[in-house]
Amino acid sequence: MKKIALIYMGGTFGCVGQPLSPMPAAQFLPQLQNILEPALDLDCLIAPVIKDSSACTPRDWLELVAYIQTLQLQGYQHFVLIHGTDTLSYAAAVLARFLAQSVNMVVTGSQYPLLTAQGSALREHSDALDNLNLALSQVKQLEAGVYIAFDQHIFHAQSVLKQHSTALNAFVGLHAHMDFKQTHQPYHITARDLACADAFRCLNIMWQPLSMTQQVIQLKQLCQDAPDVLILQGFGIGNLYADDSLIEVLHDLYQAGCLTLLTSQVPFGALDQRYAVSAWTTHAKILISDCASHADLYAKALKIYLQYATLDERRAHWHEFTSI
């Protein structure tokens, strides 16, 4: 099928009023269709979940993946998704990890609403229509995979970071023309996956310059009720200073069922363990991130969590799905 499935999931793009609030999707989509070029061959569809993107959960995005997989069975191959910008990078990374190259998909959104406050006309000085037109124009031109369209740029979905809260150039990442190791194999979502996603616990800690005693005390508190995944954001190229007490508590977290991942606070550039200060990672129960962005690390952790039942299996298979 050549027709594009345009899926609306909410966000600033569809907001009206002052202060802004979402227009119900059933009212917004007819307005959107009247604005779009009549010659466009597309179907406007409502996502399974419509909500502010800051409130999105793993289950919301997996329900979206399942919905897209159902549409694929109906013959759709090209998809454009309108999503809120707060967690757009996370949504796009999850879609890329789970749908892989089974689709041609572009995710977009906007910093300003499409319509005026009254919801009756196209708003002036908005990036919404430009971003959507870019996505629609590119979705059939790009190679299979998932991308983000924003401010006249097309990025690989797994590489993107939101860099500004209000500017139109809100996102940065690897451009679509650059070489990138995309996920190849899609993952079919089941009812079990949706139930498990509700229970997924992922905690991120941005490492701060504290005494080792305080670092260890804080991590020991986690051992009492450990998350499924703990992401430690170190400095520079992934550096953390560690002594025997830190390594011991990381072993304790592993025994408590926690997969610990080391990444960096620096948004771009691969991790590098050449410095002696990071040699401890080979002795601790910790894995090094091989993902293209923080959102991609989250998406990979979610997929590994669903795909493998035990911590040992998750560790053993982690590096089979690298994106750098």
Here the CATH number for the domain that contains residue 32 is 3.40.50.1170
58 to each of 91, 129, 282, how far by Cα in Å? 9, 28, 31
The length of the chain is 324
Residues 146 and 207 in one domain: no
Mean pLDDT of 33-58: 94
Contacts of 280-285 with CB under 8 Å at 24 or more apart are 280/240, 280/242, 280/246, 280/247, 281/242, 283/247, 284/242, 284/246, 284/247, 284/250, 284/251, 284/260, 285/250, 285/251, 285/253, 285/254, 285/260, 285/315
How much is the pLDDT for 37?
A: 87
Mean pLDDT of 31-35: 93
**pLDDT tens digits, residue range 57-80?**
999 999 999 999 999 999 999 999
Asked whether residue 33 is assigned to any structural domain, the reply reads yes
Residues 133 and 221 in one domain: no
Mean pLDDT of 221-238: 94
- CA pair distance 37, 33, nearest whole angstrom: 8
Asked whether residue 240 is assigned to any structural domain, the reply reads yes
Asked whether residue 225 is assigned to any structural domain, the reply reads yes
**pLDDT tens digits, residue range 81-106?**
999 999 999 999 999 999 999 999 99
Which residue range is the domain that position 277 belongs to?
A: 201-321
**pLDDT tens digits, residue range 102-149?**
999 999 999 999 999 999 899 999 999 999 999 999 999 999 999 999
Indicate the pTM of the whole model. Answer: 0.95
Mean pLDDT of 165-177: 96
Query: For every residue of 129-143, which 3-state class applies, written as one string?
Result: HHHHHHHHHHCCCCC
- CA pair distance 167, 110, nearest whole angstrom: 10
Asked whether residue 184 is assigned to any structural domain, the reply reads no
Asked whether residue 178 is assigned to any structural domain, the reply reads no
Q: Compute the 3-state secondary structure of the chain and give helix, strand, coil in percent, each to the nearest 5.
A: 40, 20, 40
- CA pair distance 164, 88, nearest whole angstrom: 13
**pLDDT tens digits, residue range 279-321?**
677 788 899 999 999 999 999 999 999 999 999 999 999 988 7
pLDDT at residue 241 greater than cutoff 90: no
Sorting pLDDT into bands at 50, 70 and 90, what band is 324?
low
Asked whether residue 26 is assigned to any structural domain, the reply reads yes
Mean pLDDT of 15-42: 92
Q: Give the three-state DSSP class for 192.
A: helix
Asked whether residue 183 is assigned to any structural domain, the reply reads no
How much is the pLDDT for 321?
A: 75
Mean pLDDT of 220-226: 96
Residues 141 and 256 in one domain: no
